[in-house]
């Protein structure tokens, strides 16, 4: 996301509100939520929200609003040196690596979730020239998870004009489905390109940063593995 740069003092107050557990009273214990947590309209925290929303889908029935709050606090702590600037600049790739490390640790320690996550980056060092190849490979990986009975999601980075991290839940023949902090639900596959020039010269096109993709799979908790 692109944002106007606010005063640091204002952002510092915002970070304190996120870090201080007492800042949000009366947290509900809701483990049946089926809608994504939404970020503010003028912040760049989509990366953090994407991870929290991924947990909601990965651990249905056990991941509560209380857990979402605790996970968000852990994520903020993981990249605390980047505050307050991350609030309006957003999280970069290396920030996301640190955030996923913290999220994985949270899943290990939260025994009631009854599972952990495995995060991989198979596209990180690969050049993909055709967006169809990316969607095809990612879609096959997601479908393989369905066949195996394994929950799988992908967190992807959309570049120009959005600059946004989001969660992909399904890739069909013509469209991709999201679980998103901007309430983005579905876009046609033909609306994406791997070319920044094409995205800038064609209205309605989105630049896909394929190397900024994190594949997330739910795994059994260590004590439950055989």
Question: What pLDDT, in 10s, does the model give residues 3-51?
Answer: 333 333 333 333 344 444 444 434 455 666 689 999 998 999 999 999 9
Strand ranges (E), 92-144: 116-120
Domain spans in the chain, listed from the N-terminal domain onward? 8-115, 118-219
pTM of the predicted model as reported, rounded to 2 decimal places: 0.86
Task: Name which of 171, 169, 160, 148 is nearest 208 in CA terms.
Answer: 160
Question: Is the Cβ–Cβ distance between 70 and 189 less than 8 Å?
Answer: no
Residue 31: per-residue pLDDT: 63
pLDDT at 32: 62
Q: Among residues of the chain, what percentage have pLDDT more than 90?
A: 81
Q: What is the pLDDT of residue 8?
A: 35
Give pLDDT, residue 21.
45
Strands 164-171, 152-158: pairing kind:
antiparallel
User: How open is the CA angle 82-83-86, to the nearest 5 degrees?
Assistant: 75
pLDDT at 65 (0 to 100): 95
In angstroms, rounded to a whole number, what is the distance separating the alpha carbons of residues 52 and 79? 15
Residues of the chain with pLDDT under 70: 1-33, 223-226
**Which one-letter DSSP state was computed for residue 35?**
S
Q: What is the pLDDT of residue 94?
A: 97
Nearest to 59 by CA among 106, 10, 129: 106
- Residue 33 has, within 13 A of its CA and on its CB side, a CA count of 24
- In this prediction, residue 48 carries a pLDDT of 98
């Amino acid at each position: 996301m692109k944002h106007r740069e606010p005063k640091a003092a204002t952002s510092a107050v915002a970070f304190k509100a996120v870090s201080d557990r007492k800042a949000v009273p009366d947290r509900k214990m809701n483990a049946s939520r089926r809608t994504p947590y939404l970020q503010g309209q003028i912040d760049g925290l989509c990366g953090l929200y994407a991870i929290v929303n991924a947990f909601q889908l990965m651990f249905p029935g056990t991941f509560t609003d209380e857990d979402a709050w605790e996970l968000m606090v852990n994520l903020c702590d993981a990249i605390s040196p980047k505050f307050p600037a991350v609030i309006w600049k957003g999280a970069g790739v290396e920030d996301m690596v640190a955030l996923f490390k913290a999220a994985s640790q949270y899943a290990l320690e939260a025994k009631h979730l009854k599972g952990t996550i495995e995060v991989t980056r198979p596209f990180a060092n690969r050049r993909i020239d055709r967006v169809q190849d990316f969607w095809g490979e990612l879609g096959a990986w997601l479908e393989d998870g369905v066949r195996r009975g394994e929950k799988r999601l992908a967190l992807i980075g959309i570049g120009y004009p959005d600059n946004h991290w989001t969660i992909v839940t399904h890739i069909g023949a013509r469209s991709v489905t999201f679980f998103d902090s901007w309430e983005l639900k579905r876009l046609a596959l033909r609306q994406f390109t791997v070319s920044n020039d094409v995205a800038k010269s064609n209205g309605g096109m989105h630049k896909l940063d394929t190397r900024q993709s994190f594949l997330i799979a739910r795994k059994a908790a260590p004590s439950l593995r055989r």
